[in-house]
Amino acid sequence: MPELVHYTVGGAGSEAVATITLDSPHNRNALSRQLVTELFEGIERAAADDDVRVVLLAAEGRVFCSGADLSEASAGGMDEGARRIVDLQRLIVTLDKPVVTRVSGAVRAGGIGIVAASDVVVAAEDATFALTEVKLGLAAAIISLTVHARMTPRAAALTTLGGEVFTGADAAAYGLVTTAVPAGDLDAEVAKVCASLASGAPQGLRESKRILNRELVERIDAHGADMAELSARLFASEEAKAAMTAFLTRKK
């Protein structure tokens, strides 16, 4: 099968930056089993490279990530998939190198978990976000582990219960992303942030990130299994199955 995640070193104009790019256009960069596996491999590869100080997550196309692969979920359930997405968030949070995420286009549902797990997020002002789970009889369960640690409680309630689209500028005001800039300035801002982070000493970056994320790691470890179980149960419910079938039918 074609590669869905690309790995390069030298992104954002620095040899100290490893860029991991989602490139799965057939399902709008959904978190399929293959994509998640390759994403794990890319992050672990960056972790093992002593010359890499910063990891940049990006995506090809108009969608950064559309969330869970509903075709896979409707066919085989989300038991393993939910656990893997919990583990993916934990991997990003515990990586001993800063993770920067570049967001243009759309981010939906589970994709927002990647954004929230990242250390620094630079988004285009016109990027769009939505926690759409509630529309499908689901809940933003597994990504709540990181999303609720970033967003203000009021913003989390509004976006989780409403499921409506909000912009990159809104996401910055809500605490979900670090900064939002005009789309034309996105690459320059990402390069500036990566260069700043790459100037840090490896030990300083490692220990600082561990301090920053200590409570978030504890949160994931304390509630990850329960949230994965809840997510899998909701995906298996008749209400969610009917909603997913209707959604997938509309897409065809």
Domain ranges of the chain: 5-186
pLDDT of residue 170: 98
pLDDT of residue 43: 98
Helix axis angle, 202-235 to 238-251, nearest 10°: 100
pLDDT of residue 154: 98
Strands of the 63-65 sheet, one edge to the other: 63-65, 106-108, 128-130, 166-167
Q: Which CATH superfamily is domain 5-186 in?
A: 2-enoyl-CoA Hydratase; Chain A, domain 1 (3.90.226.10)
pLDDT of residue 102: 98
Strand-pairing partners, residue 65, are 107
State the Cα–Cα distance between residues 252 and 249, nearest whole angstrom. Answer: 5
pLDDT tens series, the chain, 252 aa? 899 999 999 866 688 999 999 999 999 999 999 999 999 999 999 999 999 999 999 999 999 999 999 999 888 788 999 999 999 999 999 999 999 999 999 999 999 999 999 999 999 999 999 999 999 999 999 999 999 999 999 999 999 999 999 999 999 999 999 999 999 999 999 999 999 999 999 999 999 999 999 999 999 999 999 999 999 999 999 999 999 989 888 765
State the Cα–Cα distance between residues 165 and 106, nearest whole angstrom. Answer: 9
